Amino acid sequence: MAKSLNRVQLIGNLTRDPELRYTPNGTAVCSFGIATNRNWTTDAGEKKDEAEFHNIVSWNKLAELCSQFLLKGSKVFVEGRLATRTWQGQDGAQRNKTEIVISDMILLDGKKPAAPETGEAEEKPKEEKKEEGKEESSEEPSEEVAPDDIPF
């Protein structure tokens, strides 16, 4: 029998905040959306843009991590498999939904949301105040360039 492969890899931005739920037996499930963009130029030289929207589902510990660290607008890499669910709606019509069930997620944003319980939010302002205090107390201009001063 020939091998088959069902694998999806995406890099995109979250279209909404993740929604964490639990099944009746306590299994965590998190769902969110990702938008990917495609840009191209037609033969006539016209630039075109197109967005594709993907439904993402994660389970267990990964679901809890997604709900904890991802926010609307976050850039993220996800990897998983395509899965299609079929059910009958309240109106009696058969419905289908194709989702990407992920097994891996990497947050690509440089900044992480501060978690109040870890104290990260409190430490950052203290560091900034120290840096500001150094600049105010120094009489000579500093040769060092802070990463925030770089325009790109």
12-26, 69-83, 99-113, 129-143: segment of lowest average pLDDT: 129-143
pLDDT over 90 for what percent of the chain? 61
pLDDT value at 151 more than 70: no
Specify the pTM.
0.66
pLDDT digit string (tens) for 77-131? Answer: 999 999 999 988 889 899 999 999 999 999 998 665 555 444 444 444 444 444 4
CATH code where residue 49 lies: 2.40.50.140
Residue 140 domain flag: no
Look at residue 66 in the predicted model and tell me its pLDDT.
Answer: 93
- 32-50 tens-digit pLDDT: 999 999 998 989 989 999 9
Judge whether 59 lies within some domain.
yes
Is 136 part of any domain?
no
Q: Does 95 map to a domain?
A: yes
**Number of folded domains that form the chain:** 1
Higher pLDDT, residue 23 or 116: 23
Give me the pLDDT at residue 2, please: 84
* Rg of the chain taking only CA atoms, in angstroms: 22
Angle of CA points 59, 18, 77, to nearest 5° = 75
Q: Does residue 147 sit within a domain?
A: no
Does residue 117 lie in a domain region? Answer: no
Domain that holds residue 87: 8-110
Chain-wide mean pLDDT for the chain? 80
> Where is average pLDDT lowest: 53-67, 91-105, 138-152?
138-152
Q: What pLDDT score was predicted for residue 119?
A: 43
Residue 103 lies in a domain: yes
Q: Are 115 and 65 in contact (CB under 8 A)?
A: no
Q: For 25-37, what is the mean pLDDT?
A: 95
Q: Kindly state whether residue 91 falls inside one of the protein's structural domains.
A: yes
Residue pair 37/49 in contact by the 8 Å Cβ criterion: yes
CB 50 within 8 A of CB 6: no
